[in-house]
Structure 1
Amino acid sequence: MKFRMGLGRQITLSMSLLTLLIIVLLQISSSILYATLLRYQPELFADPDNYMPTLPEWLYMGISTIIAVIIAMVAAGRLSRRILAPLNAVAASLRRVAGGDLSARAAVNDRPIGEASQLVEDFNSMAERLQHMEQERGFWNAAIAHELRTPVTILRGRLQGFTDGVFVPDQAQFRSLLTHVEGLGRLIEDLRMVALAGSGHLELHLLETALADDIATVIALAGPALQAAGFSIEVATDSDTMLCDPMRMRQALLALLENARRHATPGRLRIGAAVADGMCVLRVEDEGPGIAPELALHVFEAFQRGEQSRSRESGGTGLGLAVVGAIAKAHGGKATCRPSNMGGTLFELRWPAHDVHAP
């Protein structure tokens, strides 16, 4: 661990060393002066009752005072530069950040000391975080606009077609419009959930839940579509109850199964839930084709679809796994993605078996 001396202690130590240096210098120079005078001008000490300084002594005191002042000014200047340079750099960078330049960073040539050095590091970390947040905001705005553009364009085209008489307003057309409206609703709800989880305001209703029953409910809902796509489902759960929000966990499991239906190779899907070592675990495994390691690090971020590595069906919003990660985070846990023993990918949610939000 790197040791850093505090600014106050550094100033005290520097001034103490400076005083000690001047005293030692005066002592040594005084000894040299009087040794020289006794050797070459002993008559100056012939009158013991004369206490007035002699001319050599006046010269010595003047020169030593000037030297001591110069040393003090040089030392104080160096110390002040090491203190004020980082403060001035931070102040200048703050003005640039206030003007909208989030790439501004504080940099100093002299090595800052103590709290001044920490101030520079903290400011640069803050500026870097602000720049990253601004980049994320721009990305989110563009991504949301992209996701909303397609369904809104379709709805506008259909409604314009009804107005111009191009389409016949029958039940099939209205059902298609309703499907697009429901898709918009899901997108908006997913965006709301990810945003709430990111700010720590996603509400949970924690209950001691037999998650096996909720898994059975989700399988009954999503099973037909999975079976039609060529998947067979295996379930391995224990009878222990888990502290969680059952509705949110059903939502996360449904998102994982929908992700598998869209992107995984048809085959076995293994769903597991257990409590071990004080942690609750919910996992979904598939048989392939797997996820590239560089993508697995970001798969729970919003709008990360992974088209290049896994996608075989379009139409997703890129928010399904982000919702899974948000639910895990809201429970005080984490969602992970890693290779499965089945040859594909293992998605796993882990969260504490006790209420981390309780006082």
Structure 2
Amino acid sequence: MKLVGIYRQIALTMMAMAVGITLLVVITSYVLYALWQKYWPNYFPDEDYMQTGPEWVWFILTTLTALALAVGVASRISKRILSPLKSVTDSIKKVADGDLSARAVANKHAPLEAFHLVNDFNVLVEKLQQATNEQVFWNAAIAHELRTPVTILRGRLQGLAEGVFEPDERQFRSLLMQIESLKQLIEDLRVVSLVESGHLPLNHQKVDISSEIQHVVESMTDVLKKSNQHVIMDIQANSAFCDPLKIRQAILALLENATKHALPGGILIKTSMVNETFSISIEDEGPGIPDTFIAQMFTAFRRAPTACGQGSGLGLAVVAAIAKAHGGQVAYAKNVKNGSSFTITLPHQISTLP
């Protein structure tokens, strides 16, 4: 099949229309006079109304003028349509060659459909560029987070193998601590990745929230004591339908975040049920999160400027991912003490969960 460009198609179509209309007028005029002379001869004029030589010249010149106008109109319309399409085509080639900064341009005279095409293409490329940049950032961040514990493990194991370190309990506990750090990082990455792809398995069941909170607090006893913090519990709703392991992981992440960044004092853990929505909030006594960081606080590997490199930057992203997997969400606000207040809300009815 031979492909024909849009410009040529429009030009040929306009020319065909001009010639067709002209021929239609001439042919129908002959038919009209023939029928008139045959069926109504008494009313047929005596004068000769058929075309003379000058009239044929006029007919040919008129046709040529109509063709010229058709080509001009076709050219103008084609440019308005083809200009944004050509821009999109050129940008697609650049994107295919790896230039994700390429953008199409639509002039102010472009048709509405062409304008929408250019705009949708630019939005698509922008999202592709963001996804690519995010992937590059993730690869670099994961490599950075894995490098520290792996380097420590390698150094200590090499020291043990060469006899530099004594193989005592302290060394083994240090190795176990690094392995636990690696295990937690891998689990956090797994949760965030699976939620983004919509494949995180959940084991929904009726959960005793106060018991789960108590288990987490007990596991954090030494850390809380070291940071001069204590937990205050306000349990107004004691049960919810959720995955107990994942909710425990979210509570643990929020508590760890408070112990690393909040001031010494109380950490309030509160649960409630309002309009068939279960919520659990964790509040500290400050100093809160900088306003400039709030927009990206739940994004993986993002750290506030005041974090001083503490943690992997995955904690809050994991909390947001777990809430999303349950069909809920997590929100942040500053409390009356200017501290941080994180609230996880979950739908109460398990039947409504995806």
TM (norm. structure 1) is 0.80
1:133 aligned to 2:131? yes
Deviation at 1:315, TM superposition (A): 4.6
Q: Classify the secondary structure of the residue corresponding to 1:243.
A: strand
Q: 1:278 to 1:72 in 2, by over 3 A?
A: farther
Q: Where does the alignment leave 5 or more consecutive residues of structure 2 unmatched?
A: 1-9, 26-44
What amino acid maps onto 2:158 in structure 1?
A: Q
Note the aligned Cα RMSD (angstroms).
2.6
Deviation at 1:211, TM superposition (A): 2.0
Structure 1 Cα separation of the partners of residues 110 and 198 of structure 2:
37
Q: 2:149 aligns with which of 145, 148, 151?
A: 151
Q: Which moved more, 1:296-305 or 1:109-118?
A: 109-118
Q: Classify the secondary structure of the residue corresponding to 1:297.
A: helix
What amino acid maps onto 2:293 in structure 1?
A: L
Q: 1:354 aligns with which of 328, 349, 352?
A: 349
Aligned pairs for 1:170-319 within 5 A: 170-239=168-237, 241-306=239-304, 308-309=305-306, 311=307, 315-319=310-314
Q: Classify the secondary structure of the residue corresponding to 2:296.
A: coil
Deviation at 1:344, TM superposition (A): 0.6
What amino acid maps onto 1:83 in structure 2?
A: I
Structure 1 Cα separation of the partners of residues 81 and 349 of structure 2:
48
Q: Classify the secondary structure of the residue corresponding to 1:158.
A: helix
Q: 2:59 aligns with which of 61, 69, 78?
A: 61
Task: State whether residues 230 and 267 of structure 2, in contact with CA within 8 Å, keep that contact through their aligned partners in structure 1.
Answer: yes
1:54-101, Cα deviation, whole Å (9 max, x unpaired)? 455334433332332222222222222333333322222222111111
Task: State whether residues 193 and 326 of structure 1, in contact with CA within 8 Å, keep that contact through their aligned partners in structure 2.
Answer: yes
Equivalent residue for 1:322?
A: 317
Structure 1 Cα separation of the partners of residues 54 and 351 of structure 2:
80
Q: 1:155 to 1:59 in 2, by over 3 A?
A: same
Q: 1:104 aligns with which of 102, 105, 122?
A: 102
Structure 1 Cα separation of the partners of residues 178 and 353 of structure 2:
41
What amino acid maps onto 2:140 in structure 1?
A: A
Deviation at 1:215, TM superposition (A): 1.8
What amino acid maps onto 2:299 in structure 1?
A: E
Q: 1:315 to 1:176 in 2, by over 3 A?
A: farther
Structure 1 Cα separation of the partners of residues 80 and 131 of structure 2:
32
Task: State whether residues 240 and 275 of structure 1, in contact with CA within 8 Å, keep that contact through their aligned partners in structure 2.
Answer: no
Deviation at 1:224, TM superposition (A): 4.3
Structure 2 Cα separation of the partners of residues 74 and 320 of structure 1:
64
What amino acid maps onto 1:337 in structure 2?
A: Y
Percentage of identical aligned residues: 45
Structure 2 Cα separation of the partners of residues 342 and 110 of structure 1:
53
What amino acid maps onto 1:139 in structure 2?
A: F
Structure 1 Cα separation of the partners of residues 159 and 280 of structure 2:
47
Q: 1:348 to 1:152 in 2, by over 3 A?
A: same
Aligned pairs for 1:54-93 within 5 A: 54-93=52-91
Q: 1:52 aligns with which of 30, 50, 53?
A: 50
Task: State whether residues 81 and 110 of structure 1, in contact with CA within 8 Å, keep that contact through their aligned partners in structure 2.
Answer: no
Structure 2 Cα separation of the partners of residues 115 and 240 of structure 1:
55
Aligned length: 318
Task: State whether residues 248 and 327 of structure 1, in contact with CA within 8 Å, keep that contact through their aligned partners in structure 2.
Answer: yes
Q: Which moved more, 1:295-304 or 1:276-285?
A: 276-285
What amino acid maps onto 2:83 in structure 1?
A: A
Task: State whether residues 210 and 240 of structure 1, in contact with CA within 8 Å, keep that contact through their aligned partners in structure 2.
Answer: yes
Task: State whether residues 323 and 345 of structure 2, in contact with CA within 8 Å, keep that contact through their aligned partners in structure 1.
Answer: yes
Task: State whether residues 206 and 245 of structure 1, in contact with CA within 8 Å, keep that contact through their aligned partners in structure 2.
Answer: yes
What amino acid maps onto 1:184 in structure 2?
A: L
Q: 1:126 to 1:281 in 2, by over 3 A?
A: same
Task: State whether residues 328 and 335 of structure 1, in contact with CA within 8 Å, keep that contact through their aligned partners in structure 2.
Answer: yes
What amino acid maps onto 1:108 in structure 2?
A: A
TM (norm. structure 2) is 0.81
Deviation at 1:113, TM superposition (A): 2.3
Task: State whether residues 106 and 114 of structure 2, in contact with CA within 8 Å, keep that contact through their aligned partners in structure 1.
Answer: no
Q: Which moved more, 1:257-266 or 1:101-110?
A: 101-110
Q: Where does the alignment leave 5 or more consecutive residues of structure 1 unmatched?
A: 1-10, 27-46
